[in-house]
Amino acid sequence: MKNTIPEYAWGSHTAIADLLGNKSPSAKPQAELWMGAHPKAPSLVKYDDKWLSLIDLIKQSPKDILGKEIAAKFDNKLPYLFKVLAASKPLSIQAHPSIKQAKEGFERENRLGIALDSPSRNYKDENHKPECICALTPFLALYGFRKISEIISLMEKICLKVLDRELNNFKRQPNSEGLKSFFQSLITMNSQRKKQIIEHAITNTQKIAEDNLGFKWMINLYKEYPDDIGIFAPILLNLISLKPGQAIFLPSGELHAYLEGLGIELMANSDNVLRGGLTKKHIDVPELLKVLSFEETDVNILLSQKDKDCEGVYYSMAKEFVLSVISDEKNISYTSSEKRSVEIILCTDGKASIADVELNENITLTKGASIIIPSSVNKYRIQGKATLYKASVPV
């Protein structure tokens, strides 16, 4: 496969370049590697010695590529988007809509005549975007609201005087409605008051930053975005440190931001993002508030569960995708199941051979290479010494 590399300001000059064996550092920051059939950046696939768009290839033979059941279930479309994400700077605080919200938002923006490629567009498609991020390096993320008692305690340490009214209201209503009111008051206040609160908070935070990683990250974000109320995100949201091999699953409506690190990302095939801060991209606070969940979030770290042979599976609630890793300390000896869906495999380390068992044809995968295996391949075998991440659809 040949895959597109979007270049965003928060991307890395080295991580994706090193993975692909390209010139490093890259001239521009490389943020993501997209593997899939999203209209924004479809992969090219070598087929009969020609490079074809994966979208066109699926249109030609949806049942062969996707499998009969998956083609019927997902309207002849690949239901997932597979990525490598390389963050050297924090991403925006954001959330993704449910399917119902996405359909309504997409239709509304179409009626308003907002072009699909307009920077002020919220909804690029009609799909939701649950996602799984798996760390390849130590990876820091903000995910879901902290315990309400914790939020109040941390905010009082740095903002008691300037947010006295809002915090007292929150303490009188320490539930999801109170959290929603408090968050909304923060994110919608006028710029003059925001500036006053931020300056007051940062002055206090600098005195006690050593006590709490959330406070340290507030200072880091302030250096990058000094006028953005989003700098409070590290004490409003759970701050998660993932070790390589650990993952988290993010359903619709969960506020989150990735701070730094290299990871494998697998999601429903969508590019719908509602941003609330920490970015120069389009921010739509009223729309973000419509989709957010204001419940306290318990963080569930996912570990790969050994399924068969050398494969570890990251189980989640997603209907569109399942992420797994195929690796072995010695040598991989993996044979696929006969009941399987369309799969994309990315090699992140080492070298392995993938063979069609029936046709006895094989392809060698090295670090950075990716391959799509259609559903019509009955069974394949992988051998070698490598680490391979696999995207598939639950069957």
Are 255 and 276 within 8 A, CB to CB?
yes
The one catalytic residue in 108, 111, 121, 275 is: 275
C-alpha–C-alpha distance, residues 371 and 340, integer Å? 16
C-alpha–C-alpha distance, residues 70 and 342, integer Å? 9
C-alpha–C-alpha distance, residues 102 and 252, integer Å? 10
Q: What share of the chain is helix, strand, coil (3-state, %, to 5)?
A: 30, 30, 40
Q: Is the bond preceding residue 25 a cis peptide, omega within 30 degrees?
A: yes
* Amino acid letter, 212: N
Provide the 3-class DSSP secondary structure of residue 27. Answer: coil
Residue 12: strand pairing partners = 30
CA dihedral 221, 227, 230, 232 (to 10 degrees): 70
381 is catalytic: no
**Lookup: tokens for 26:** 């890259």
CB proximity list for 164: less than 8 A, separation 6 or greater: none
Query: How far is C-alpha 201 from the chain's CA centre?
Result: 30
CB proximity list for 161: less than 8 A, separation 6 or greater: 200
What's the distance, Cα to Cα, between the start and end of the chain in Å?
24
Are 351 and 365 within 8 A, CB to CB?
yes
Angle 228-121-5 from CA coordinates, rounded to 5° = 85
C-alpha–C-alpha distance, residues 111 and 113, integer Å? 5
C-alpha–C-alpha distance, residues 353 and 165, integer Å? 64
Q: Which helix (H) or strand (E) holds 385?
A: strand 380-392
Query: Which DSSP string do the residues of 202-233 spell out, in sequence order?
Result: HHHHHHHGGG-HHHHHHHHHHHH-TT-GGGGH
Catalytic machinery residues? 275
